[in-house]
A and B are shown apart, each in its own frame.
Chain A
Amino acid sequence: MSRQDVLVTADWAEKNLGTDGIVFVEVDEDTTAYDGGHLPGAVKINWTTELQDPVRRDIVNKEQFEQLLSSKGIADDDLVVLYGGNNNWFAAYAYWEFKLYGHEGVKLLDGGRKKWELDGRTLTTDEVSRPSTSYTAKDADLTIRAFRDEVIDSIGAKNLVDVRSPDEFSGKILAPAHLPQEQSQRPGHIPTAINVPWSKAANEDGTFKSDDDLRELYGEAGLDGSRPTIAYCRIGERSSHTWVVLRELLGHSDVKNYDGSWTEYGSLIGVPIELGTGAR
């Protein structure tokens, strides 16, 4: 994979709005941003209600994913360009889920909504409707998804990358600082995890840093590129951002996203937890 296989620039996106075979999709947890103005022709996916099972805590299954994409008018061979707010966190999560279900043609709009807005590019409230399709997904590719038992077995064996903020990592707070602090879990991090906040991989405008800067970042943090890696955060969306960086931009071969992340791990009975700044 190289950068142009994974990302599109805002300039490219602007030139390709309305092109047959290219579907722009805005992904957010709160779709009021989309409703207030979106890229012309873009459809919306709600992270909370459409990419996750409405009852069980899990991502949607293959059949639900097929129904979702069919209803959005996305075909198997469409190039899907994902973008969203929060520096593309939820778009990156959707990217990971599209890859999990075998959708080959998927890219991220570098910089997401933020760069698009800061650039003053066109947003519209025009309703978008696409004729439904009959989408066929592949079986879930579990080589990119980690579950809790594997995470526990990985302590001291694989790279564990905690991409939350330093205060979440050390156990000072339980959720990012723009959220009320939920108290359902124990604070801290998985022993042996290194802390490389997702934000270090992004520029201020939401674009990804250069490949050279990214290599230097994870090299200095002590990530051993020859070993398998599991990335986690609180609920699996920020770690999707880092998953995109490590597997898709830097081309590490064995990188999994632990979407259960801290809200699962920090609630498990009896698992080891480390407090403070960690070994590094």
Chain B
Amino acid sequence: MCAAPDQSVTLPAGTDLTKETVLAGRVLASGSPVAGAFVRLLDGTGEFTAEVVASASGDFRFFAAPGTWTLRALSRSGNGEAVLTADGPGLHTTELAVA
């Protein structure tokens, strides 16, 4: 499995949302998608967990576990954070604004 899978809103075939906890979203600057932002997933203690590069449409996703997560984006358009709580398996989404 690749370490840099294609980031898109369409989940890979075989993703079982009754078992997997997927965190997904879009990086936005003044409402417009930011391509190529570095999106970092931090756990409840602020510990780095994973990082992906947002797609051309600003989309990102992580396969995680239930819990409260912080998403932090770094980009040429600025940085930003959002908190996302996943209470169980399924698709959990958020917008992530940078400025």
Contact = CB atoms under 8 A, between A and B. Distances in A.
A89 B48 CA distance: 15
Contacts of B51: 86-87, 178
Interface residues of A, number: 33
Given A118-B76, A181-B63, A204-B74, A166 B1 contact: no
A167 interface: yes
A9 interface: no
Interface residues of B, number: 30
Contact of A179 (B1, B36, B74, B76): B1
Nearest to A206: B38
Residue of B20, B48, B62, B72 with most chain A CB atoms under a 10 A cut-off: B48
Contacts of B31: none
Interface string A105-128: 000000000100110100000000
Contact of B12 (A85, A180, A237): A180
Main SS of chain A's interface residues?
Answer: loop
Given A114-B38, A165-B49, A30 B4 contact: yes
Interface string B82-95: 00000000000000
Given A118-B76, A177-B41, A204-B74, A167 B65 contact: yes
Contacts of B47: 165-166, 197, 199
Interface string B1-14: 11111000000101
A181 B22 CA distance: 11
A176 B50 contact: yes
Interface in B1-47: 1-5, 12, 14-15, 20, 36, 38, 40-41, 43, 47
Contacts of B12: 180
A151 B12 CA distance: 35
B63 A179 contact: yes
Contact of B3 (A173, A182, A237): A237
B53 interface: yes
A274 interface: no
B4 A180 contact: no
Contacts of A200: 48
A248 interface: no
Contact of A29 (B4, B52, B62): B4
B4 A173 contact: no
Interface of B: 1-5, 12, 14-15, 20, 36, 38, 40-41, 43, 47-53, 61-65, 72, 74-76
30 contacts: A29-B2, A29-B4, A33-B4, A33-B53, A48-B2, A86-B3, A86-B4, A89-B3, A117-B36, A117-B76, A118-B74, A118-B76, A165-B49, A165-B50, A173-B63, A173-B65, A175-B1, A176-B49, A177-B41, A177-B50, A177-B63, A177-B65, A178-B3, A178-B5, A178-B50, A180-B20, A180-B63, A197-B48, A204-B74, A237-B3
